């Protein structure tokens, strides 16, 4: 009996942490509309239910999703795994009659009747068994298209037939159902705690006490549930965290400000910021309502915000969070000048710690960039492509040809450490990259070069640093934004031209 109670308690903790991970999206994101614990709207996948104010894009299918439903399956023992056979076995989910597959399908039918787009998540600390036949068809948490490609006598075909027979449906209807199912597996209680600590820090709430035997957020979730507070929207969540005194008071020896130009999935809360510039009224998603805004309203409002006397009166240094386009972060770096009486420290959001501050450093390094460039450059214009987070070549070269810029000399750079999400190790490394980039460009570009066409893929705080370090390398810099959604055939479009001319 004691072992059963302990197992149930661990399962409650697991569910509570999944709940909080999504609940914090009401404070640190712009997409979540409501989060429920033990929702009564749909059975089985009712442990946590998340609805979105505007449908979000599912990267795996491209479909717009309005609701996510989660079923948490915590196992005290670590030796088990998900398998094909377990999907048919009611005892796998401690049920007498219905299997996981049938219960997921029942939830699918219930939600399909509401005419909403949704995903059904199974979250567990167990992994999918690597030798199981279905494992080879899993990608991005879902069963991928290869599962549907084999004929009826193939291994996949036999499994499809078994699924359809088990659910008493035609095989042709199977894919529509399975495309809504996600398996988020291999996440232990410790893993959820680490994720929660990052989100709590970003949300500026009381940290988890590492010396305590329990996590206060676990107990609070079920205490609120007992009080029938199991569904929260933005307003009610804000009221709750204030009543529970969870918000950390801001430090008096610095200030926080932020700039927003598009909706964010992870950002600092507005109530911890001394000032906030919202440019989202100038955009439709990532695209400006008018291309002219890149040269008029956007730089004018950014300059006015930075140079306003109230900004200079804030406690220094100022921690600046960029919830904006890379071009805007570059612009801020180019405009930051000590004569305005402000000391900017760019903030970089990270998965490991929530965010890091990258204060200015004069430390220099050499050999930090791998460079591909002509031996000599004799041109009044040059193309500079910087690949840090992602390689830009595949989308850059077709754009240059279409924009009739392919005749210009090209300087292509990437960190010597490689391209990827960990290409920049921290603030010191970022400033060294920026300062060496300045030196490299000064050495390579002739005095006759007047315009640099700059394409950049990297951390937003590094975009600020690059804007700050190379702003005077050429007379003008034409920036380009990347079309992440692929709304246009060419994946780049011109944005801000620097330096800007701002009316007094």
How far is the C-alpha of 207 from the C-alpha of 152, rounded, in Å? 54
pLDDT one-digit tens code per residue, 74-89: 998 878 899 999 999 9
- Is the bond into 499 cis (omega within 30 degrees of 0)? yes
Handedness of CA 364, 366, 367, 372 (dihedral sign): positive
Q: Is the pLDDT of residue 486 over 90?
A: no
Average pLDDT, the chain: 93
> How many whole angstroms separate alpha carbon 24 and alpha carbon 16?
12
Q: Where are the domains of the chain?
A: 2-184, 255-498
Burial class of 390 by CB neighbour count within 10 A (0 to 12, 13 to 18, 19+): middle
Task: Write down the pLDDT at residue 3.
Answer: 66
Residue 40 CB partners (closer than 8 Å, separation 6+): 46
* HEC string for 258-288: EEECCCCCCCCCHHHCCEEEECHHHEECCEE
CB-CB contact of 264 with 203 (8 Å)? no
The model's pLDDT over 291-333, given as tens digits with 9 standing for 90+, comes to 999 999 999 999 999 989 899 899 999 999 999 999 999 999 9
> How many helices (H) does the chain have, and how many strands (E)?
14, 23
Query: Given a cut of 60, is residue 503 above it in pLDDT?
Result: no
Q: Which residue, 110, 92, 109, is CA-closest to 100?
A: 92
Q: What angle do CA 68, 69, 75 make, to 5 degrees?
A: 130
Q: Tell me, letter by letter, the H, E, C secondary structure of 116-172.
A: CCEEEEEEECCEECCCCHHHHHEECCEECHHHHCCCCCCHHHHHHHHHHHHHCCCHH
Burial 3-38 (b: 16+ CB within 10 A, else e): eeeeeeeebbbbbbbbbbbbbbbbbbbbbbebbbbe
The tokens of 383 are what?
């193309």
Q: Tell me, what DSSP letter sits at residue 63?
A: -
The pTM assigned to this predicted structure is 0.90
Tokens 């760019």 belong to: 346
Could you give the percent of the chain with pLDDT greater than 70?
A: 98
- Is 60 exceeded by the pLDDT of residue 504? no
Average pLDDT of the residues in 208-220: 91
Distance set, CA 434 to CA 329, 358, 428, 431, 439 (Å): 14, 12, 10, 5, 9
Mean pLDDT, residues 237-261 taken together: 94
Give the confidence band of 72 by pLDDT, cuts at 50, 70, 90: very high
Determine the average pLDDT of the residues in 30-53: 94
Burial of 151 (0-12, 13-18, 19+ CB in 10 A): exposed
Residue 482 pLDDT > 50, yes or no?
A: yes
Cis ω before 317 (30° cut-off from 0): yes
Q: What is the pLDDT of residue 458?
A: 97
Neighbours of 263 (CB within 10 A): 17
pLDDT band at 90; cut points 50, 70, 90:
very high
pLDDT mean over 252-279: 93
CA distance 36 to 225: 10
- Taken as a whole, the chain contains a residue count of 504
Q: Cα–Cα distance between 269 and 264 in angstroms, integer?
A: 11
Residues 6 or more apart whose Cβ sits within 8 Å of residue 5: none
Q: Are strands 138-139 and 64-73 parallel, antiparallel or unpaired?
A: unpaired
CB 413 within 8 A of CB 382: no
Task: Report pLDDT for 196.
Answer: 96
Provide mean pLDDT across the span 330-337. Answer: 93
Of all residues in the chain, the percent with pLDDT exceeding 90 is 83
Give the torsion through C-alpha atoms of 5, 11, 13, 15, to 10 deg. -150
For residue 432, which of 366, 348, 334 has the smallest C-alpha distance? 366
Given this model, what pLDDT does residue 392 score? 96
């Amino acid at each position: 009996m004691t072992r059963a109670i302990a197992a149930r308690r661990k399962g409650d903790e697991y569910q509570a942490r999944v709940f909080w991970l999504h609940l914090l999206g009401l404070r640190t994101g712009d997409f979540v509309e409501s989060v429920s614990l033990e929702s009564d709207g749909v059975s089985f996948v009712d442990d946590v239910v998340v609805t979105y104010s505007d449908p979000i894009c599912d990267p795996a299918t491209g479909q717009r999703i309005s609701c996510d439903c989660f079923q948490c399956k915590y196992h005290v023992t670590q030796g088990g795994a998900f398998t094909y056979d377990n999907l048919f076995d009611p005892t796998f989910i401690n049920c007498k009659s219905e299997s996981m597959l049938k219960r997921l399908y029942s939830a699918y039918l219930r939600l399909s009747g509401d005419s909403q787009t949704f995903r059904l998540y199974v979250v567990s600390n167990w992994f999918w068994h690597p030798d199981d036949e279905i494992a080879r068809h899993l990608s991005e948490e879902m069963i991928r298209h290869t599962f549907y490609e084999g004929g009826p006598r193939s291994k996949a075909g036999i499994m499809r037939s078994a699924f359809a027979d088990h659910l008493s449906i035609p095989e042709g209807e199977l894919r529509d159902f399975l495309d809504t199912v996600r398996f988020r597996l291999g996440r232990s209680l410790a893993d959820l705690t680490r994720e929660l600590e990052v989100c709590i820090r970003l949300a500026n709430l009381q940290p988890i006490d590492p010396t305590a035997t329990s996590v206060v957020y676990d107990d609070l979730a079920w205490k609120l549930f007992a009080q029938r507070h199991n569904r929260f929207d933005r307003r009610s969540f804000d009221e709750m965290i204030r009543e529970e005194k969870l918000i950390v008071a801001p430090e008096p020896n610095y200030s926080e400000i932020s700039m927003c130009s598009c909706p964010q999935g992870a950002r600092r809360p507005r109530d911890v910021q001394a000032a906030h510039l919202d440019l989202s009224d100038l955009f439709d998603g990532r695209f400006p309502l008018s291309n002219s805004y890149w040269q008029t309203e956007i730089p004018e409002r950014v300059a006015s915000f930075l140079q306003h006397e109230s900004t200079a009166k804030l406690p220094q240094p100022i921690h600046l969070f960029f919830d904006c386009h890379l071009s805007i972060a570059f612009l801020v770096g180019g405009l930051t000048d000590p004569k305005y009486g402000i000391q900017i420290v760019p903030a970089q959001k990270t998965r490991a710690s929530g965010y890091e501050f990258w204060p200015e450093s004069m430390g220099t390094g050499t050999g930090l960039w791998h460079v591909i460039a002509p031996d000599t450059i004799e041109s009044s214009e040059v193309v500079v492509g910087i690949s840090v987070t992602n390689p830009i070549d595949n989308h850059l070269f077709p754009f240059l040809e279409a924009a009739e810029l392919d005749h210009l000399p090209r300087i292509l750079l990437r960190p010597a450490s490689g391209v990827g999400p960990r290409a920049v190790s921290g603030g010191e490394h970022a400033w060294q990259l920026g300062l060496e980039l300045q030196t490299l460009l000064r050495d390579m570009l002739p005095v006759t070069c007047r315009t640099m066409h700059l394409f950049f893929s990297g951390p937003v705080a590094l975009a600020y640093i690059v804007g700050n370090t190379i702003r005077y390398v050429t007379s003008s810099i034409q920036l380009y934004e990347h079309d992440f959604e692929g709304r246009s055939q060419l994946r780049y479009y011109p944005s801000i031209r620097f330096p800007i001319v701002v009316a007094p």
